[in-house]
């Protein structure tokens, strides 16, 4: 699978744009009854995270503590890609 095919899968572009706005916990992105504002299901999110990591667009870190959470942080490469995606989004929104 080439890199563009990875970008086409599982809402990866939407997730990347969400992470560029601010680093996010996985639980913030996951859509559930508790979090209806999430952007994707857990299965899709797992695939998305794997592809974003494989492409070098995010890094993940695990909090320490009794209920650790996974924190997603965009890399510089990811920031550059997300900037282009937002430019495309702006063009699409033009009247």
The total domain count for the chain is 1
CATH number at residue 55: 1.10.10.10
Spatial contact of 78 and 20, defined as CB atoms under 8 Å apart = yes
The parent domain of residue 19 ranges over 3-93
Mean pLDDT of 3-25: 83
Task: Report helix, strand and coil shares of the chain as percent, to nearest 5.
Answer: 55, 15, 35
* Lowest-pLDDT range of 29-38, 40-49, 68-77: 29-38
**pTM beyond 0.85:** no
Rg over CA atoms, the chain: 14
Length of the chain: 95
> Tens of pLDDT along 28-39?
888 888 888 888
Q: Reduced to 3 states, what is the DSSP secondary structure of residue 49?
A: helix
């Amino acid at each position: 699978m080439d890199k563009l095919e990875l970008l086409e899968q599982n809402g990866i572009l939407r997730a990347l744009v969400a992470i560029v706005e601010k680093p996010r916990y996985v639980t913030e992105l996951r859509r559930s009854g508790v979090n209806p504002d999430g952007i994707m299901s857990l299965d899709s999110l797992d695939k998305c995270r794997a592809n974003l990591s494989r492409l070098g667009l995010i890094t993940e870190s695990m909090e320490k503590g009794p209920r650790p959470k996974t924190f997603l942080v965009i890399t510089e490469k990811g920031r550059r890609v997300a900037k282009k995606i937002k430019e495309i989004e702006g063009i699409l929104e033009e009247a």
